[in-house]
Structure 1
Amino acid sequence: MPDGTAAPAAPPKTLRTMAALASAGLVRVDELPKLEAVAERYAIAVTPHVASLIDRDDPADPIAAQYVPHPDEAVTRPDEHPDPIGDDRHSPVRGIVHRYPDRVLLKPLLACPVYCRFCFRRESVGPDGGVLADAELEAAYAYVRARPQIREVILTGGDPLMLSPRRLGAILQALDAIPHLETLRIHTRVPVAEPSLVTPALAAALATEKPLWLMVHVNHARELSPAALEALGRIRAAGVPILSQSVLLRGVNDCEAALEQLFRALIAARVKPAYLHHLDRAPGTARFRVPLARGRALMRRLRGRIPGHALPIYVVDIAGGHGKVPVGESHAERDGEGWLLTAPDGSRHRLADTGESG
């Protein structure tokens, strides 16, 4: 600098290569030959924020497991599919997925701040972005306008909060102007993966006349860092209610303690846990699988341990695009003309069903 002062340090960059991950101490050098095959197929991105959350002394760190590539990703099992929930078969125009009669997904881009190693869209997302051109967005709006049965549009991707405030605001305003839409929704990982992107300008872009809900993807309580909580608070202060969705992942959150900590932390952050997803069978994700019976047992044991409003619905997105269904264990079963109810402590109680109307 002319006055002799040092130039400001460049901000840390997102780690996008195996060499960068090795330099940061996130993968072992001896693993690099195996990991290069993974890097050739699937996008890599670990933000400086996420890297700061990883315990490098813990080989089983649950944050690293979600974001840092693993050699097993190079193996695709016969029951894994590049489009496990059938996005493509329900995509009438580019960027639109119309699986349910009353709502559609709109994917304005396919870039994310991080690339989760279990992502069900891992074959299509990446740093090239897949951004919809203006004409493609107009075609997507026209599809929605022409179908009054559509009551909700869900922005997903990719991650919609990667868009500039101006671009995001323009998309929301265009949807806001469609008369028959009742609600809007955004699905995002940004507040926990790159909270610095949730600027006042981005929060202001969320202003809509129609009710707008935000669904944040969080899998472990440690992802709710002080910076993430601040980002969520900024969104909430803009008048946007926040829900969460999580994925049940082996080695990340597949025990009662981890799930309880996660759901309690979400409620403390004024985020309503909405869904706990059973893992979709995308290629190279087998190491994360948890048996459905174990997931059901975990949810059963959590009932009565944490408040009802902290319990999400455990769901499976049926392969091929047939939609989500709840798969939690029932606490009621028919018993003659009545019912047997199972209490949180495991005791069973009879409910008579006689003399009730309807």
Structure 2
Amino acid sequence: MSRTPGETDAATDPDAGPLPFRPVVPDEQWRDWRWHMRKRVTNAEKARQWIRLSPDEEEAIVKAAGKYRWSITPYYASLMDPDDPECPVRRQAVPAMGELAEFSGAEVDPVGDMFYRKTNRVVHKYPDRVIMLVTEACPVYCRHCTRKFHTTDVDGTYFRDDEGGSYDEDLRYIAEHPEIRDVLLTGGDPLSYQDGKLEEIVSALRAIPSVEIIRIGSRFPVLLPQRITDGLCEMLARYHPVWLNTHFNHPKEITEESAAAVDRLLRHGIPVGNQTVLLRGINDDVATMRRLMTELLRVRVRPYYLYHCDNVTGVSHFMTSVEKGWEIMEGLQGHITGFGVPQYVLTTRIGKIPIARPSYSETPDGLLLRNHRGQEMVVDSSVHPIRESDLR
């Protein structure tokens, strides 16, 4: 028999480890991702098997019913502090009253997915790449999801038609636009599908000559790393180049199991990048973000983006100021290795816009440069020309 990670036997050590009310799970079941999907936490009664719900959480679960879907895998529930409602894992997964508050400027689709949708599934926003929304299903419905609309009022959806319909129109659109060289499968989480269904989609894309890169956006390495099986990796490796971007938001999410999932992907030639969202009360301080980025590098995940949290209906309570993002970026630059510093971006209807504060400015004497310690120097334009006309 196997308890959840880090748990001790309360009968022999009552003062150590998580609370004894957490379930005991046989190793065979704990390793089976399908078991976790079947046993997801979807109501207050199940949640109480893992955590002591706060009054705010109890009220939010009741009031979110019929408004927002929620579910939590046993694996992800095992990472939660059972007594602390401010636990950074818990806040990402358990409904909170902030989701039901109204915020100025909040929208269901601030990034314009529906505006740029060309078929049932294809969103064509950038010249050479598209996203394909393949499912609404997720192992955990993250409370900060940019696409929270697909779980709004339970029946909310980004799909024009049925999710289960034919892919012919979507594949035809991509094939008829040879400028599309990069396809990102997203949703929902594409790895919610069984391997066979996923392979049908990936193989159909690989059959289009102009498609060079297939990417998968998945939070399974974080929320249910048992899903990253050798069989899945072997299947994906048949269709290289395949990339996977995942979504660690806090160091607490980097576990032995998630690191092993990343290792399996890498050993099959699948690079893994990470897209973190800046979230109030979860990772909005320099120390946490530094630790997250360095821990990602330790398990060989490349930090890719730091997203400024979108003003999405039901998500706005997680937003920070842009100034807070600048503070964090300045606390990363120069303090950790360069390829461990993500690009800070704001996602808008006109695209992802880099918004890190520049470390330089133009002066009459040349470039004024500022380093991570706040030290400044001016580089004369005769040394580093600013404009082509300055070249001698």
Question: How high is the TM-score relative to the length of structure 1?
Answer: 0.92
% identity of equivalent residues = 34
Q: Which 10-residue stretch deviates more, 110-119 or 332-341? A: 332-341
d(CA) in 2 for partners of 1:285 and 1:30? 16
Matches within 5 A, 1:165-180: 165-180=195-210
Amino acid corresponding to residue 346 of structure 1 in structure 2: G
Counterpart in the other structure of 2:300: 270
d(CA) in 2 for partners of 1:274 and 1:26? 35
Q: 1:33 to 1:338 in 2, by over 3 A?
A: closer
**Aligned-pair Cα RMSD in Å:** 2.1
The alignment partner of 2:357 has SS state of: coil
Matching of residue 140 in structure 1 with residue 170 in structure 2:
yes
Matches within 5 A, 1:20-31: 20-28=46-54, 31=57
Check whether the contact 1:218–1:245 (CA below 8 A) recurs between aligned residues: yes
Check whether the contact 2:280–2:320 (CA below 8 A) recurs between aligned residues: yes
Of 381, 386, 390, which residue of structure 2 is paired with 1:353?
Answer: 381
The alignment partner of 2:361 has SS state of: strand
Structure 1: runs of 5 or more not aligned: 1-7
Q: Which 10-residue stretch deviates more, 309-318 or 328-337? A: 328-337
- Number of aligned positions between the proteins: 348
Counterpart in the other structure of 1:329: 357
Amino acid corresponding to residue 230 of structure 2 in structure 1: P
Matching of residue 338 in structure 1 with residue 369 in structure 2:
no
Amino acid corresponding to residue 60 of structure 1 in structure 2: E
d(CA) in 2 for partners of 1:39 and 1:348? 54
Check whether the contact 1:112–1:125 (CA below 8 A) recurs between aligned residues: no
> Which fold has the larger relative contact order, with Cα–Cα distance below 8 Å and residues 6 or more apart in sequence?
1
d(CA) in 2 for partners of 1:56 and 1:22? 9
Matching of residue 302 in structure 1 with residue 328 in structure 2:
no
The alignment partner of 2:145 has SS state of: coil
d(CA) in 2 for partners of 1:125 and 1:342? 44
d(CA) in 2 for partners of 1:70 and 1:233? 34
Check whether the contact 2:109–2:147 (CA below 8 A) recurs between aligned residues: yes
Counterpart in the other structure of 1:93: 119
Structure 2: runs of 5 or more not aligned: 1-25, 30-34
Amino acid corresponding to residue 85 of structure 2 in structure 1: P
Matches within 5 A, 1:132-281: 132-135=163-166, 137-281=167-311
Q: 1:337 to 1:180 in 2, by over 3 A?
A: farther
CA deviation map 1:6-65 (0-9, x unaligned): xx8975611012332244325236753443111321111111011110111223111111
Question: How high is the TM-score relative to the length of structure 2?
Answer: 0.84
Matches within 5 A, 1:108-147: 108-125=134-151, 132-135=163-166, 137-147=167-177
Q: Which 10-residue stretch deviates more, 18-27 or 302-311? A: 18-27
d(CA) in 1 for partners of 2:295 and 2:57? 35
Counterpart in the other structure of 1:44: 70
Deviation at residue 182 of structure 1 after TM alignment: 1.6
Q: 1:31 to 1:344 in 2, by over 3 A?
A: closer
CA deviation map 1:264-307 (0-9, x unaligned): 01101111100000001111223211110111111112211111
Check whether the contact 1:243–1:272 (CA below 8 A) recurs between aligned residues: yes
Amino acid corresponding to residue 328 of structure 1 in structure 2: A
Amino acid corresponding to residue 210 of structure 2 in structure 1: H
Amino acid corresponding to residue 340 of structure 1 in structure 2: L
Check whether the contact 2:107–2:312 (CA below 8 A) recurs between aligned residues: yes
Deviation at residue 133 of structure 1 after TM alignment: 2.9
Deviation at residue 134 of structure 1 after TM alignment: 5.0
CA deviation map 1:304-346 (0-9, x unaligned): 111111000000002xx21101110101110115100001110
Deviation at residue 352 of structure 1 after TM alignment: 1.6
The alignment partner of 2:290 has SS state of: helix
CA deviation map 1:201-222 (0-9, x unaligned): 1111212444211101110011
Counterpart in the other structure of 1:16: 42
Matching of residue 79 in structure 1 with residue 105 in structure 2:
yes
Amino acid corresponding to residue 53 of structure 2 in structure 1: V
